Each structure stands twice: as structure tokens, then as C-alpha cells.
């Protein structure tokens, strides 16, 4: 695997990448995702600080256990990844303190786990990962995952869910309301908040245009 995208920590990336991903056809959680999250983390690090080695280890290993979105184990995915990451870093003779920092950042990155990040590194990793679920990348990944899961684009009888509950297991468009349009509210760092608002507006713009193109001339319903 190429390590050139993980500057300035190429040596550490070379050691960790073999453990970063399990065999999977999930193109929303692949090497390209890790590259993007690292780019986000470095952007945040430039203004927020934090220890780069801890950040890189958490970024590269945050999806090291593959759990599908529709699995009953989904809420435990980040804990399972943190456990595996700890074992990997122990084998590399990392200090216990640093292993604990990486494990916490991995556990806390997950939206479904609902764990509050307590360290700067954990806040940066959470923000960096969630930025990849906003903006046009968020749109692309959402429709990609919905296609893999066999979901429809939207409910043709009630696209805005005015007379039903949201169900993002059946309708891709519902996922914008159940998760994506809520993400920007929870960013942890000042830089992350600023970048999240930019991508949030792009999401809202997409929703408005999508609704118009399916025959609903109104702004996205964000109930």
C-alpha cells in the first residue's frame, strides 16, 4: 500500500497500514477513506495541535474491524476496532499511555457509539471522520452505501416523510435527516465546526436540488 498520502508520518503508516483494513468490498470505508480522514486530521492539527503519532494511529486503525451498517454489532464496531488497535500497538511496544489515547480516539469517533471524546486527539479524529460524511463526499458515500444495502433512493409516496417515520434502512434520502444533517451540530474543535458548516450547507443545497428534481419545490425538510 502507498504511504505517500500519510506525510509526514510515512514510516509509521507503513507499519500500521497492513493492520488498517480487513478484506472487504466496502468502498465507503477503504484506503481512500483513510487518506481523506488523514487529510482532514492534518488540516485540523495545523490550528488545533495534538500529537501526530496518536492521530495517525487512530485514523489508520479506526475501521480496522469491518462491521456492516446493517449489522446488529454496528454500535460496537468502534470498541472492537479499539481493542484490535490496542493489540497491534502493544505488539509494536507502544507505551500504555499512548495506546490508551489511540483506543479512546477510536472508540469515540463513532456516531452510533455516542461516546464523548475527552482528549484533543479524540476530538480531532471524530471531527476528521465526520467531515467525510458531510458535503459532496457525504452525498456520494450515502448513496453508495444505500446501494450496497439494497435501499431505494427515496419513498415515492412520501419523500419528505411527512406521514411516516424516517427509515434509512429502506430509503437513502431518509439518512440525510436521521444522521447527515445533524452531524454539523456536534463538532468538537473550532476548526472542525467551521469546516463542518461549509459542508453542511452543501448538503442542504443538494437536498433542495434533489427535491426539486423529483417534483417537490421546497427546501429540505429538516424536522
Domain boundaries, the chain: 4-116, 135-213
Q: pLDDT at position 111, please?
A: 81
Q: Model's pTM, two decimal places?
A: 0.89
Q: pLDDT value at position 221?
A: 46
Give Cα 127 distance to the centre of its chain.
Answer: 8
Separation CA 179–CA 131 (nearest Å): 13
- From first to last of its 223 residues, the chain has per-residue pLDDT tens of 578 889 898 999 999 999 998 767 666 678 899 999 999 999 999 999 999 999 999 999 999 887 766 566 666 788 999 999 999 999 999 999 999 999 999 999 988 788 899 999 999 999 999 999 999 999 999 999 999 889 999 999 999 999 999 999 999 999 999 999 999 998 999 999 999 999 999 999 999 999 999 998 754 444 4
Q: What's the pLDDT score for residue 22?
A: 72
Q: Residue 98: which of 121, 81, 71 has the closest Cα? A: 121
Contact 221, 162 (CB under 8 A): yes
Note the pLDDT of residue 220: 43
Contacts of 28 (CB under 8 A, 6+ apart): 141, 144, 145, 148
Ranges assigned E (strand) in the chain: none
Q: At 127, phi and psi to the nearest 5?
A: -60, -45
Q: What is the structure's pLDDT at 217?
A: 72
- Please tell me the distance from the alpha carbon of residue 177 to that of residue 220, in angstroms, as a whole number: 9
Q: Which CATH architecture has domain 4-116?
A: Orthogonal Bundle (1.10)
Instruction: For residue 57, give the nearest of 73, 44, 41 by alpha carbon.
Output: 41
The CA distance from 50 to 44, in Å, is 9
pLDDT score, position 222: 43
**Is the domain 135-213 a CATH 3.40.1350.10 member?**
no
What distance in Å separates the CA atoms of residue 58 and residue 66, rounded to the nearest whole number? 15
What letter would DSSP give residue 156? T
Residue 23 is predicted with a pLDDT of: 64
Amino acid at each position: 500500500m502507498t504511504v505517500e498520502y500519510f506525510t509526514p508520518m510515512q514510516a509509521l503508516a507503513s507499519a500500521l497500514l497492513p493492520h488498517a483494513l480487513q478484506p472487504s468490498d466496502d468502498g465507503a470505508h477503504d484506503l481512500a477513506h483513510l487518506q481523506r480522514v488523514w487529510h482532514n486530521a492534518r488540516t485540523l492539527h495545523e490550528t488545533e495541535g495534538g500529537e501526530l503519532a496518536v492521530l495517525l494511529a487512530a485514523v489508520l486503525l479506526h475501521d480496522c474491524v469491518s462491521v456492516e451498517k446493517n449489522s446488529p454489532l454496528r454500535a460496537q464496531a468502534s470498541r472492537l476496532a479499539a481493542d484490535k488497535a490496542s493489540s497491534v500497538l502493544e505488539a509494536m511496544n507502544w507505551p500504555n499511555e499512548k495506546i490508551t489515547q489511540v483506543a479512546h480516539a477510536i472508540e469515540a469517533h463513532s456516531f452510533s457509539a455516542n461516546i464523548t471524546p475527552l482528549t484533543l486527539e479524540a476530538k480531532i479524529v471524530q471531527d476528521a471522520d465526520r467531515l467525510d460524511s458531510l458535503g459532496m463526499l457525504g452525498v456520494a458515500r450515502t448513496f453508495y452505501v444505500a446501494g450496497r444495502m439494497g435501499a431505494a433512493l427515496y419513498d415515492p409516496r412520501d419523500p419528505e416523510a411527512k406521514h411516516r417515520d424516517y427509515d434509512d434502512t429502506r430509503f437513502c434520502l431518509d439518512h440525510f435527516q436521521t444522521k447527515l444533517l445533524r452531524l454539523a451540530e456536534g463538532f468538537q474543535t473550532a476548526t472542525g465546526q467551521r469546516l463542518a458548516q461549509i459542508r453542511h450547507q452543501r448538503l442542504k443545497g443538494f437536498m433542495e436540488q434533489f427535491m426539486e428534481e423529483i417534483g417537490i419545490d421546497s427546501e429540505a425538510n429538516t424536522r
